[in-house]
Chain A
Amino acid sequence: MTATQQTNSSGRVVVNTSNLSELKTTCDNSLKEFLKSKGYDEMHTHTDVKLILGYVGVIFCAIDFAYSWKYPFSQTKWFSYISVSIYAITSGLALLYSYLVQRDTFFVGYNKAKGHIVSAGSSTKRNEPVYRLTLTTRPIRGRQDPPVFNSKPLEVRRPFATWFYEDGEFAGDKFQQEAAVAVENLLNKKAE
């Protein structure tokens, strides 16, 4: 949730149209809402992996802090080697995961009724007011595999101006109409 996004009582969303990240986040949130309303439950695997890695590092850091606070350095050195290594490894893994696995995905939803999973990612290029949306899908297999997608992604590229008024108001319904079309294309492509 951006602090600068405003939704007033009538439900209008107004953003700063010069701020690329705000524009992208607004569209992301709208797509998220759309997919959730279509029966896609959010899968939090990416977040969970990073949370676990992060907190493991934090726990070792806390233990090391307490231990080295109480006892002199030469005595606690062995544990410090371990905890610094673990911290470096978990931080490194979290970073790698973010760059290689998650990339620009902001929503992964699974639809039990329809039996497939949709993953949505988006990106923007500097100084280019274009929303680049990437949608991929895969069927739900027996067990919950890591969300790596094999199907060819559907890419949608549209200028932000398509859904934003000049004053920054977001035309949510227009966006969701186009989102519906995109998702349908994605699922039809899969069936081919």
Chain B
Amino acid sequence: MDFVTQAKKMGVRSLLLQGLTFLSVLTSAFMIWKGMSLFTNSESPVVVVLSGSMEPAYYRGDILFPGQRTFGDRGWRGGGDIPIVHRVMKVHTERENGKQFLLTKGDNNPLWIQRDEIVGRVKGFVPYAGMGTIWMNDYPQLKMGLLGTLCLLSLFSNE
């Protein structure tokens, strides 16, 4: 009941304003990410490398940026929820319909993947910058703690 009385005292507008301040933290983060997605024309504009399978090129904790899809030696496959990075070893072009199949290193299945399954090509990378994401995945309390801190800070700031 205390929250309700306090809320009434503050007025609806004040509550809405505070709500907006808090929400704009979340929405601007999402919109920036979406904007980058649209710009790079790929589902996930930025990806953190989670495993060590791409060493010595990419280590655990690197962030990768996809570019436009062209030939490249590191293709990036969107299969399921998490994009996977593979090295493209061979390209096979069907003569009839021009469909291209790529064989990537590290695929567990013997099938070649189709070109349109490729989400993007790794254009650049920032080493170690993704460690934060890995820690947050390994320790979910960290993620909750960070989110909670951000919310509290936005509620207490004065304009």
Binding site for B on A (CB under 8 A): 1-3, 21, 25, 44, 47-48, 50-51, 54-55, 57-58, 61-62, 64-65, 68, 72-73, 77, 80-81, 83-84, 87-88, 91
Chain B residues near A72: list those with CB within 8 A.
Answer: 43
- A84's partner among B16, B17, B20, B34 (CB-CB below 8 A) is B34
Is there an interface contact between A58 and B23, defined as CB atoms closer than 8 Å?
Answer: yes
How far does the alpha carbon of A51 sit from the alpha carbon of B43 in the complex, in Å?
Answer: 31
Q: How far is the CB of B99 from chain A (nearest CB, A)?
A: 17
15 intermolecular pairs with C-beta atoms under 8 Å apart: A1-B158, A3-B158, A44-B13, A54-B24, A55-B16, A58-B23, A58-B24, A61-B31, A64-B34, A73-B42, A73-B43, A77-B38, A80-B37, A81-B38, A84-B35
Is there an interface contact between A51 and B16, defined as CB atoms closer than 8 Å?
Answer: yes
Binding site for A on B (CB under 8 A): 13, 16-17, 20, 23-24, 27-28, 30-31, 34-35, 37-38, 42-43, 156, 158
- B27's partner among A2, A50, A57, A81 (CB-CB below 8 A) is A57
Chain B residues near A3: list those with CB within 8 A.
Answer: 156, 158
Chain B residues near A91: list those with CB within 8 A.
Answer: 28
How far does the alpha carbon of A77 sit from the alpha carbon of B31 in the complex, in Å?
Answer: 13
Chain B residues near A55: list those with CB within 8 A.
Answer: 16, 20
Chain A residues near B35: list those with CB within 8 A.
Answer: 84, 88
How far does the alpha carbon of A121 sit from the alpha carbon of B30 in the complex, in Å?
Answer: 34
Which of chain A's residues has its CB closest to B31's CB? A87
Chain A residues near B28: list those with CB within 8 A.
Answer: 91
Q: How far is the CB of A68 from chain B (nearest CB, A)?
A: 8
